[in-house]
């Protein structure tokens, strides 16, 4: 898969306006709050695109990165920042992204889908009961 170019095929033939709108709204939400953004985005992309889960996960990673960079820029200019915490979060996020991408590419699609649903349920229940 490395070095191979892939074209993303929307399920309906064209990239739907509802999918673009949902991803845009979710990007704004994720840039500010972020809780369960990845799980929700995987669900939207999996329903709206005719692609393997591994590719959907990669697209989710790029979208979440973009939302987080945009949100971070707003916070950097609008509020005081603890740069020690920022550095720690950045390092751990990069490491987690690297490891997560390697694991995600090797998982069968059904295992990946099951893990996404289970993590979504756990995060949703945790937020609801907190």
What confidence tens digit (pLDDT) does each residue in 75-120 have?
A: 889 989 999 998 998 899 889 888 988 888 888 888 988 988 898 8
Domain that includes residue 61, residue range: 17-129
Tally of structural domains, the chain:
1
pLDDT at 3 > cutoff 80: no
**Is position 100 within any domain?**
yes
**Is position 39 within any domain?**
yes
Residue 127, C-beta contacts closer than 8 angstroms, at least 6 positions apart: 35, 36
**Is position 101 within any domain?**
yes
**Is position 51 within any domain?**
yes
**Is position 91 within any domain?**
yes
pLDDT at 8 > cutoff 80: no
> Which range (6-10, 34-38, 55-59, 96-100) has the least confidence?
6-10
Q: pLDDT tens-digit profile of 50-74? A: 888 888 888 888 888 888 888 888 8
**Is position 12 within any domain?**
no
**Is position 102 within any domain?**
yes
**Is position 8 within any domain?**
no
Q: Is 95 or 130 the better-scoring residue by pLDDT?
A: 95
C-alpha distance from residue 106 to each of 18, 42, 60, 103 (Å): 31, 17, 17, 5
Q: Give the chain's length.
A: 130
Residue 2 near residue 21, CB atoms below 8 Å:
no
């Amino acid at each position: 898969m490395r070095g191979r170019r892939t074209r993303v095929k929307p399920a309906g033939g064209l990239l739907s306006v509802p999918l673009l709108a949902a991803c845009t709204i979710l990007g704004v939400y994720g840039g500010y709050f972020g809780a369960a953004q990845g799980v929700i985005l995987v669900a939207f992309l999996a329903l709206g695109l005719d692609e393997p889960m591994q590719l959907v996960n990669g697209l989710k990673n790029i979208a979440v990165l973009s939302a987080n960079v945009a949100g971070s820029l707003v916070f950097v200019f609008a509020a005081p920042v603890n740069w020690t915490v920022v550095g720690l979060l950045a390092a751990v996020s990069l490491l987690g992204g690297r490891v997560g991408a390697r694991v995600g590419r090797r998982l069968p699609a059904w295992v990946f889908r099951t893990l996404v649903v289970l993590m979504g349920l756990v995060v949703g229940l945790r937020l609801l009961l907190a």
